[in-house]
């Protein structure tokens, strides 16, 4: 009984280690699109149906995971962000790797979504901090967001290099201006942003050779952001 309890506690406080395993009901091979999304961030073989024709296999600074609801898009984005924050990449990882601590943003459409979805996936619920994807022992501390009950502003995380990474949780409701005047290594945009916010966040990664990853269901149809990821910025023509 004691051993089972200790193992359960270890898993709850170190979920990162058990995501996308090699075997079992949640093995990696069952998530090919997730694996393609990760791989596109590093040097990779061009992915049919994913990479544009001109892709030479170089890392993509901009990636977009557009898919249906409830298939694990947000979990994939938070998982990758946590790998970058901690430097604890699994042996199978073929995506981007940061060799030292980073400064990241993770943003979503509303403050409520940020708190109830992103924050909980990173940290766990308020009454069980350390049960999210960031390993409990790697959380240095976090700061609270003013004016929003139980909301976190920035999480500071141990990186295996010895430094401390940070991820600031942001909302599109804060406006484009809140995405200005900073330099960032990695940006996760969960839910579709406006083109202005997306462009502003992208600029923040330019001087760091950073990356930006978007994960969302295209509820707004062929928006400017969706079209920007299509060949020549236009909807593919139907073929007979």
Q: Is 150 a catalytic residue?
A: no
C-alpha to C-alpha distance for 86 and 218, rounded to whole angstroms: 30
- The pair of structure tokens assigned to 12 is 């709850």
With the C-alpha atoms ordered 153, 184, 212, 104, is the resulting torsion angle positive or negative?
negative
Q: Which of 191, 192, 224, 240 is catalytic?
A: 191
HEC readout, 124-181: CCHHHCCCCCCCHHHEEEEEECCCCCCCEEEEEEECCCCCEEEEEEEEHHHCHHHHCC
48 CB-near residues (< 8 Å, 6+ apart): none
Residue 124 CA neighbour count, 13 Å, CB half: 17
Read out DSSP for 189-221? Answer: EESPPPHHHHHHHHHHTGGGT-EEEEEE--TT-
C-alpha to C-alpha distance for 174 and 35, rounded to whole angstroms: 32
C-alpha to C-alpha distance for 92 and 28, rounded to whole angstroms: 10
- The pair of structure tokens assigned to 21 is 């395993």
For the chain, the first-to-last Cα distance in angstroms comes to 64
Residue whose C-alpha is closest to residue 132's, from 89, 79, 72? 79
The residues annotated with a catalytic role in the active site are: 191
């Amino acid at each position: 009984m004691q051993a089972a309890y200790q193992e359960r506690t270890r898993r709850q406080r170190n979920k990162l280690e058990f995501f996308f395993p090699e075997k079992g009901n949640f093995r990696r091979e069952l998530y090919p699109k997730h694996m393609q999304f990760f791989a596109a961030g590093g040097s990779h073989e061009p992915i049919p149906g994913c990479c544009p024709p001109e892709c030479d296999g170089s890392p993509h600074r901009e990636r977009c995971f557009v898919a249906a609801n409830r298939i694990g898009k947000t979990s994939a984005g938070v998982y990758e962000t946590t790998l970058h924050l901690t430097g604890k990449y699994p042996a199978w990882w073929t995506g981007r790797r940061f060799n030292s601590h980073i400064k990241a943003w993770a943003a979503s459409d509303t403050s409520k979504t940020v708190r109830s979805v992103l924050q909980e996936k990173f940290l766990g619920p308020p009454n069980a901090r350390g049960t999210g994807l960031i390993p409990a022992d790697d959380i240095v501390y976090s700061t609270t967001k003013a004016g929003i009950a139980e909301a976190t502003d920035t999480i500071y995380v141990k990186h295996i290099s010895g430094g401390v990474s940070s991820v600031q949780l942001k909302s599109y409701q804060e406006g484009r201006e809140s995405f200005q005047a900073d330099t960032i290594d990695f940006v996760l945009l969960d839910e579709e942003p406006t083109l202005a916010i997306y462009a502003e966040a992208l600029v923040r990664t330019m001087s760091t050779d950073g990356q930006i990853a978007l994960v969302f269901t295209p509820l707004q149809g062929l928006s400017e952001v969706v079209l920007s990821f299509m060949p020549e910025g236009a909807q593919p023509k139907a073929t007979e």
